[in-house]
Chain A
Amino acid sequence: MAPDAEESGILKISKHVSYWRRNLKTYLPHHYTGTDSNRMLLAFFILSALDLLGDLDAALTDEERHEYVEWVYNCQIPDGGFRPSPGTYVGTARNQQNAVWDPAHIPGTFFSLLVLVLLGDDLKRVKRKETLIWLNRMQRPDGSFGETIGQAGRVEGGNDTRFGYMATGIRWILRGDIEGHVDDVPDIDVDKFVQCVRDSETYDGGISEAPFHEAHAGFACCAVSALALLDRLPVQTSQQKDQRLRGITDLPSTLHWLVSRQTLTLEEGEEDEGEQNGDANPSKGAQSQQDLSMVGMNGRCNKIADTCYAYWVCAPLDVLGHLHLVDTQRIRLWLLDMTQHFIGGFGKLPGDPPDIYHSYLGLFTLAMFGEPRLKEADAALCISKAAKERIESLPWRKAIVEQKI
């Protein structure tokens, strides 16, 4: 699996560019059908990867850019929010009675907004007010957010931090981090959501889907990023304390849990070695100098390393200002030498073919580590810093955010 010495530790930029251009320009193979109801997520990965690679402008003609923007706006729901793919759209047959089967969708809306920004749109045609009203309806009495609104106004979907993260992302894009009413639309209940995140902290310092569920890096990442977008992370020593409720109640334990996700179990089949037979001498393990050159990341205790967890673990560390607690060079080497694929992109495990999800998160992690030929990354929004700055520079948004001062 590991390449020859002269090829070791190299990001094959041109291969990645052609991998992502192919995803942009040609139809994806039918085995992506399982993601049919989340195409906006795939669209986001494709455009954002090309942005990180600095190839987006070259990859798109003005006409293509215009048509893609139209495609996204065609996914906007008249009452606010976006559907995540055209799959539920019934055209002129849409009416009050059947609208519930073609609902606005939290991930669909979050990724539509990001895709529009990546395409250079100013979001002026977004039904901002309607979307913010809808966002309030997406919050349950317990503070969590769901995926869509179903029959009888029921909020459907899980109540974990994934939807909460994307809801706070929509709020951040459309109204910044100011609290209270904006344009007569009330804010979401920020305190209740923060409480929800606090309740899902686990006994081992991690964060889970819901109270007492198992700690999982994906939920930890979403929780930490959501708190960042709400400006509710623990106060840094340099910051002034205030009375607002904040998340991550035991930062040292959370950092401990995050750094514990580094593992030398990089390939399937290694998982139960030794330990089960009572062989428990840690120094007898695989920690020779050579093996230590590569370090993988898992998402839960005693699981195998997987490309995507490099992002799910390192992003919250970065957002919390503690990325320096892991050796990014060793994680980088693992990604480049073990899961980077020779045709471009990254697979889930060593030797796996690339897929859009792992390819994006692998690439993004390298950008977050400061890979020289990639754009700088913003961990909480999972986009380039330049794309984030473009959102912050939108005139209508500046006008809202400046009310704060």
Chain B
Amino acid sequence: MPRFYHDDPAWSDVTPIPQLESGQVLAGISYTAEYSEAMSYLRAVMAANEYSTRVLDLTEHIISLNPAHYTVWLYRAQTLSALNRNLREEIKWLNPTALKHLKNYQIWHHRQTIIDRLGSCDGEQEFVEQMLEKDAKNYHVWSYRQWVVRRFGLFGDEGERKWCEGMMERDVRNNSVWNHRFFVVFGGLKGEVEEGLLKRELEYAQDAVRKAPQNECPWNYIRGVLRQAKKPMSTVKEFAKEFADLEKPDEVRSTHALDLLADIYEEEKKNDEAKTALDLLANKYDPIRAKYWEYRARSLDSAAVEA
């Protein structure tokens, strides 16, 4: 049922301000009568800086019609603060609202403001999980989870990493989970990467590669971990060769292994081998990126000339 204000006694003291535009307008929208009227009342209360319970209802109404309206969210946050409202109640309302508008960004900015004021992340991890069940790669939700980890100092928490592993079991190809693991492991790290940590992270990613060798995520992770630890790519040469051995060019099991090997051979100044790997990628295993692999092969030549 659409909701209107003009015949509502609770709003009779307010003179709505219509949208002020005339003549030829750009990107005009045929608003519903309901949205159009609600916005006119919002303009009127904003012009008067009114902060009240009915204003909270009005913002809730407009958010249900247009959750991407950033001003409405800011006005709501200010109203909550002016009325000294119970912020736990706000979170209770936000949860179903977020679940209804999965792609919305403003909700997360608002949530961050509220949780920051509350100073406690009780229940947040569970709620994030609920959101991820609906869309496991939702960018805003993962960004928010990172904010929670930073704000509440959860870096040292084994629980966060274990939770990541659970998410990974659901989908080893979900890059958001890989990124979150990298953040949890290295985001709070001060100083050098210790050998034990390096070993643990490489083994974790290598196990994942064995499950699905053509999955790009763990290969990127391996490169990232090695860079973070300032180790050469050749650290994982034998591992890469399990999936792509130039002596067995018909049995390549992963283009990413071949790609990594090309880098390793280049690192070792074995340009012929690097070229063989790049040729296999361009002509046989990854022809959609042929132009790129050919460019890489040409770059080897020019680097050799410069040397």
State whether these chains interact. yes
**Which residues of A are interface residues toward B (Cβ below 8 A)?**
23-24, 27-30, 32-40, 42-43, 46-47, 64, 67-68, 70-72, 74, 86-91, 93-94, 97-98, 101-103, 115, 147-148, 150-151, 156-158, 202-205, 209-216, 255-256, 259-260, 262, 264, 271-272, 275-276, 278, 280-283, 285, 287, 292, 295, 300-303, 324-327, 330
Task: Report if A29-B287 is in contact (Cβ < 8 Å); known contacts: A86-B21, A260-B216.
Answer: no
In the complex, which of the residues A74, A90, A101, A281 has the most CB atoms of chain B within 10 Å of its own CB atom? A101
Nearest Cβ on chain B to A34's Cβ, whole angstroms: 5
Instruction: Closest B residue to A330 by CB, please name it.
Output: B288
Q: How extensive is the interface on chain B, given as a class?
A: 35 or more
Q: Which of B178-193 contact A (CB under 8 A)?
A: 179-180, 182-183, 186-187
Q: Is the CB of A204 within 8 A of B173?
A: no
Q: Is the CB of B224 within 8 A of A203?
A: yes
Residue of chain B at shortest CB distance from A295: B288
Q: B-side binding surface: helix, strand, loop or mixed? A: helix
Q: Is B269 an interface residue (CB 8 A)?
A: no
Contact B182 A68 (CB under 8 A): no
What is the minimal beta-carbon distance from B40 to any residue of chain A, in angstroms?
10
Query: Which residues from chain B contact A88 at a C-beta distance below 8 Å?
Result: 43, 46, 71
Decide if B46 touches A90 in the complex (CB within 8 Å).
yes
* A106 CA / B19 CA spacing, docked (Å): 21
Q: A36-B66, A287-B288, A292-B287 are contacts. A214–B71 as well, Cβ < 8 Å? A: no
**A87 and B39 within 8 A (CB):** yes
- Taking CB atoms, residues of chain B closer than 8 Å to A301 are 175, 216-217, 220
Q: Which of B174, B187, B224, B285 contacts A204 (CB 8 A)?
A: B224
Please pick, from A37, A103, A150, A295, the residue contacting B66 in the complex, using a CB distance under 8 A.
A37
Q: Which residues of A contact B213 (CB under 8 A)?
A: 280
Q: A86-B19, A101-B46, A212-B183 are in contact. Are A204 and B223 (CB under 8 A)?
A: yes
On whether the beta carbons of B216 and A86 are closer than 8 Å, the reply is no
Q: Which of B245-276 contact A (CB under 8 A)?
A: 252-255
Cβ-neighbour of A36 out of B69, B212, B225, B292 (below 8 A)? B69
B217 touches A27 (CB 8 A): no
Q: Which residues of A contact B143 (CB under 8 A)?
A: 209-210, 213
**Distance from B220 Cβ to chain A, minimum over Cβ atoms (Å):** 4
Q: Which of A47, A71, A202, A283 contacts B25 (CB 8 A)?
A: A71
The reply to whether A36 and B29 form a contact with Cβ atoms under 8 Å apart is yes
User: Of B25, B214, B254, B295, which is within 8 A of A325 by CB?
Assistant: B295
10 new A-B contacts at CB < 8 Å, known A39-B28, A72-B26, A325-B292: A24-B26, A40-B26, A47-B26, A115-B26, A150-B74, A202-B224, A203-B221, A210-B143, A216-B139, A260-B289
Binding site for A on B (CB under 8 A): 17, 19-21, 23-32, 35, 39, 43-44, 46-49, 65-71, 74-75, 78, 105, 109, 137, 139, 142-143, 146, 171-176, 179-180, 182-183, 186-187, 211-217, 220-221, 223-225, 227-228, 252-255, 284-292, 295
**Nearest chain A residue, comparing its CB with the CB of B226:** A203
B295, closest chain A residue (CB): A325
The residue from A46, A102, A150 contacting B26, defined by CB atoms under 8 A apart: A46
A-B contact pairs, 14 of them (CB 8 A): A28-B27, A36-B69, A71-B26, A87-B39, A98-B47, A203-B186, A203-B224, A204-B224, A212-B146, A213-B183, A216-B139, A259-B289, A280-B214, A326-B292
Q: A88-B71, A275-B215 are in contact. Are A67 and B47 (CB under 8 A)?
A: no
CB-based closest 5 A-B pairs: A203-B224, A43-B26, A67-B24, A42-B27, A204-B220
Bound complex: CA A256 to CA B227 (Å): 15
Given known A-B contacts A27-B30, A42-B27, A324-B291, A214 and B253 have beta carbons under 8 A apart: no
Provide the residues of chain B in CB contact with A209, threshold 8 Å: 139, 143
From B17, B66, B214, B220, contact of A90 by CB (8 A): B17
- The A/B interface has a contact count, at CB < 8 Å, of 231
Q: How far is the CB of A83 from chain B (nearest CB, A)?
A: 9
Smallest beta-carbon distance A218→chain B, Å: 9
Known: A203-B182, A204-B224, A216-B139. A39 touches B23 (CB 8 A): no
Are the CB atoms of B66 and A282 closer together than 8 Å?
Answer: no
Q: Which residue of A lies closest to B150 (CB)?
A: A212
Q: Which residues of B contact A282 (CB under 8 A)?
A: 214, 252-255, 285-286
With A and B bound together, what is the CA distance between A115 and B25 in angstroms?
Answer: 13
Q: How far is the CB of A298 from chain B (nearest CB, A)?
A: 10
Of B67, B287, B289, most buried by chain A (CB within 10 Å of CB) is B289
Contact B25 A93, beta carbon cutoff 8 Å: no
Q: Which residue of B lies closest to A47 (CB)?
A: B26
CA distance A283 to B258 in the complex (A): 13
Q: Judging by beta carbons under 8 Å apart, are A97 and B49 in contact?
A: yes
